[in-house]
Structure 1
């Protein structure tokens, strides 16, 4: 993207100045100096960084005011977060926040009366302004700039009348763009509802109703489906036991070195399900529990203070943060073979379905599929299905994705509710036979792919809208957005007047201090 620069030729009536030259002082002090009982507090959390506006200030009692609440706001102020400035935590103080209080985490920009505060605001939200601040950042974990850095940035200054024309043009163009963006958002909401409707139809049997009507010979009773899945799991478990017994013999033959191989957990037996407790399903469909179709386990976080569990580790280890995508393609970290042997870690094979039992934000309830052998931490439920069994892995994965919100609601606990293995094991889902499962998954893959393509188009359109806004700002601050008027007072005279006022204020301030000192002495 191109940015305005000092090398760009500006109109003859324009000037350049530092932002600081165009500002008035902001009063600072205790909130009790301006409020008796409570006030609205504008801090970083109050900012909507996408809309770049103050959206949700907190109402705070004066006697409970945080130490950073010290800046007295006026309508028209521009608040700019000096921490991680690239995040654009920026807002324009509206009339309803006049007289309220801002955090010292903001650089508060109060435009001189001869400067359009909206012109200043639009310059501050421009990519050009942010790019020129980046080299001035200090720190790594929390890169920040100082108020002085913000005020040192040069701003192209047109005549006062032209500032107002530029602001009017920007707002008119932005209004048109925002209207289009709202339509794009509405279209995205329709796609979201379409996804849910498609998934709902899939697991109610509506997507495959025609197939069932045309293939009655391929349908089986619910009991037959459940018993076949159980038989396949029992056969798989017998195979696991045989492999374990062989591993134990080899362990004993080696002199019992290392940890004894773990015996496979027993499989869950089919439970009796009472028909009246569950909704009626399509012909050939059965209600199943996760514990009846797969083995559910978890992992652990080895002691961080034990370096031997981590140093030069080669065993992939997964945390819940890796489950925000459909597939886990790389580990969150590595642990050692010693950690695998001495803790409750275990290796899960590629193809294991992982469900986040707890995690920050929207992580809890997310599901993904492991693409390589790996261990996990205790925040993940790992579901191993029998290879080639009566339940297809992709079918269960689609069901878990569809019921993400419902699964989250099943969480237990107080401030930070979590899932647990018991909740995951008892999750119930409707399932048809393998042939119909395959058709459900194939239909979902095809139609979801089409919806996803439409969503990408809408996302790209919204990104182009933001780029268009930045292009408008670039034209605005280079003098190309509106025509110049030769009758306007040149910016040089405007700037000279502001500078003269500043010099007069600075000249009188010391005299006031001397007078006050003399009065105090007398």
Structure 2
């Protein structure tokens, strides 16, 4: 649904195009070094994994930490406006991501998450990320590498990702419209999930009441169920 809503907004033949590598510094993240984690020179940093970087939003409900060389980690600390891209996983998840807004201090990113830091003020990070998550989804699926169980992007491929280059005003307008539309869709999805949870709870409650025999009044004189049993017991007595 994300792609179907947003992709048409970027299909504009009158726009010029560039590449991500031309407009941003693209960098990979930190690799876990379990052999040196006890090094006293290492510090502990919160870091983003693939699971945290979703399509069009960041899931920060479970952010873990990693011990890392302080000097290396400082080069990877995220800044507001950095655009995040997932390196690998299932093929339809290649390149998914969103914009970092400074939610966690001194947060870095693992090696399976790329960071694109725009070089100047000519591009809106939300415009670039929305484009990557919609129009770019098929591009990443086409250009990613596939092994037996894993699809992946390398740094060179990500830098070559095509990005439309309208004016900053046009970018901001498109990003604002799409974010409003997608926020509405996410709200509807949340409401549907909430209704589904309530319906599931109600169904379980009804079944429990039914099995306990509390849905209808019980008449000991009727000729069914407990009524017959009561009559049989009386006759025998």
What is the TM-score of this pair, normalised by structure 2?
0.77
2:42–2:70 CA contact under 8 A, matched in 1 = no
RMSD: 3.1
From 407, 410, 416, the counterpart of 2:143:
410
Task: Measure how far apart 1:356 and its partner are.
Answer: 0.8
**Alignment-derived partner of residue 232 in structure 2:** none
Give aligned pairs, total. Answer: 219
Deviates more, 1:323-332 or 1:433-442: 323-332
**Alignment-derived partner of residue 487 in structure 1:** 223
Give a deviation string over 1:108-127, Cα, whole Å, max 9, x none. Answer: xxxxxxxxxxxxxxxxxxxx
Structure with higher RCO (Cα < 8 A, 6+ apart): 2
Question: Quick check: 1:370 aligned with 2:103?
Answer: no
From 397, 409, 413, the counterpart of 2:129:
397
Task: Measure how far apart 1:302 and its partner are.
Answer: 3.3
List runs of 5+ in structure 1 lacking aligned partners. 1-191, 206-280, 494-522
Task: Measure how far apart 1:312 and its partner are.
Answer: 7.4
Q: Residues 309 and 203 of structure 1: is their aligned pair in 2 closer, same or farther, counting only changes over 3 Å? A: farther
Give a deviation string over 1:174-212, Cα, whole Å, max 9, x none. Answer: xxxxxxxxxxxxxxxxxx3xx54431231124xxxxxxx
Give a deviation string over 1:60-107, Cα, whole Å, max 9, x none. Answer: xxxxxxxxxxxxxxxxxxxxxxxxxxxxxxxxxxxxxxxxxxxxxxxx
Q: Residues 375 and 425 of structure 1: is their aligned pair in 2 closer, same or farther, counting only changes over 3 Å? A: same
1:431-446 → structure 2 map (5 Å cutoff)? 431-446=165-180
Q: Residues 311 and 474 of structure 1: is their aligned pair in 2 closer, same or farther, counting only changes over 3 Å? A: farther
1:46-65 → structure 2 map (5 Å cutoff)? none
**Alignment-derived partner of residue 8 in structure 2:** 201
**Alignment-derived partner of residue 326 in structure 1:** 57
List runs of 5+ in structure 2 lacking aligned partners. 230-237
Q: Distance in 1 between matches of 2:144 and 2:40?
A: 31
Q: Distance in 2 between matches of 1:479 and 1:328?
A: 44
Question: Quick check: 1:355 aligned with 2:85?
Answer: yes
From 21, 40, 59, the counterpart of 1:291:
21
**Alignment-derived partner of residue 234 in structure 2:** none
1:299–1:344 CA contact under 8 A, matched in 2 = no
Q: Distance in 1 between matches of 2:80 and 2:200?
A: 41
Q: Residues 401 and 310 of structure 1: is their aligned pair in 2 closer, same or farther, counting only changes over 3 Å? A: farther
Q: Distance in 1 between matches of 2:141 and 2:39?
A: 32
Runs of 4+ in 1 over 6 A off after TM superposition: 342-345
Q: Distance in 2 between matches of 1:315 and 1:467?
A: 40
Q: Which structure carries more strand by proportion?
A: 2
**Alignment-derived partner of residue 183 in structure 2:** 449
1:290–1:426 CA contact under 8 A, matched in 2 = yes
Give a deviation string over 1:360-397, Cα, whole Å, max 9, x none. Answer: 6965432122233433222111101025x211111001
1:300–1:345 CA contact under 8 A, matched in 2 = no
Task: Measure how far apart 1:478 and its partner are.
Answer: 1.8
Give a deviation string over 1:253-309, Cα, whole Å, max 9, x none. Answer: xxxxxxxxxxxxxxxxxxxxxxxxxxxx12xx1111111110111123131122335
What is the TM-score of this pair, normalised by structure 1?
0.38
